[in-house]
Amino acid sequence: MSLSASALFLYCCPKITDEQFNVFHSMERQLYSHVIFDLGQDPEQSMQVIGFWMWLELVICTKKDLVIQLLKLPIKELKEVADESVVCLRCMGSEILPFADGNFELVLLPKLVLQNIRLELLHEYRLTVINEVRRRVRDVCLRAFKNILEKVVDDKFCGGSGSISTTASPGELMEL
């Protein structure tokens, strides 16, 4: 009797608990918490931003330490990087390249990743990048941030501070 590939995977690779998964992704969780609680950003949009940062760290960033660098930034600078990242996501979510007239140039992200990334390049490869960001949101963010999102819902609907912004509509940046 032969084992299927998925059965062999399950046999050889024990299930990772949510706690273990969260420990492994503790820096991403901390960053997500800063973005939604300290900056008051929309939780769904922020998940896409974190997914984008994870992709940048893996594919573009020279030192592979983008999350660490972002965690070290003062809140004001983190907000500026998050805002620049939202522009990138919107650019990739658009069929037509916005800012084609050169009105907007990425300033902070190229410094952090030590690469000359441009909106034109992100737009040119948008389908690939969007798929990679979606995969990180689906495979990492949704699981790693689950209890953080539960806290957001509890705070918002059960008498918490209600300081979470909901300015971005669910498909405004890119559909998941």
* pLDDT tens column, 20-78: 999 999 999 999 999 999 999 999 999 999 999 999 999 998 888 999 999 999 999 99
Name the band, by pLDDT with cuts 50, 70 and 90, for residue 163: very low
- The rounded percent of the chain whose pLDDT value lies above 90 is 64
111, pLDDT greater than 50: yes
Q: Give me the chain's average pLDDT, please.
A: 85
pLDDT at position 10 is 56
Q: What is the dihedral of CA 48, 53, 59, 65, to 10 degrees?
A: -160
Name the band, by pLDDT with cuts 50, 70 and 90, for residue 11: low
pLDDT at position 151 is 86
Identify whether the C-beta of residue 73 lies closer than 8 Å to the C-beta of residue 81.
yes
> Looking at residues 135-145, what average pLDDT do you find?
96
Name the band, by pLDDT with cuts 50, 70 and 90, for residue 15: confident
168, pLDDT greater than 50: no
Report d(CA 142, CA 176) in Å as an integer.
11
pLDDT at position 156 is 72
Q: In the chain, what are the domain boundaries? A: 18-152
Name the band, by pLDDT with cuts 50, 70 and 90, for residue 97: confident
Helix ranges (H only) for the chain are: 5-12, 18-24, 26-33, 43-55, 66-72, 75-92, 108-113, 119-124, 126-136, 142-144, 146-157
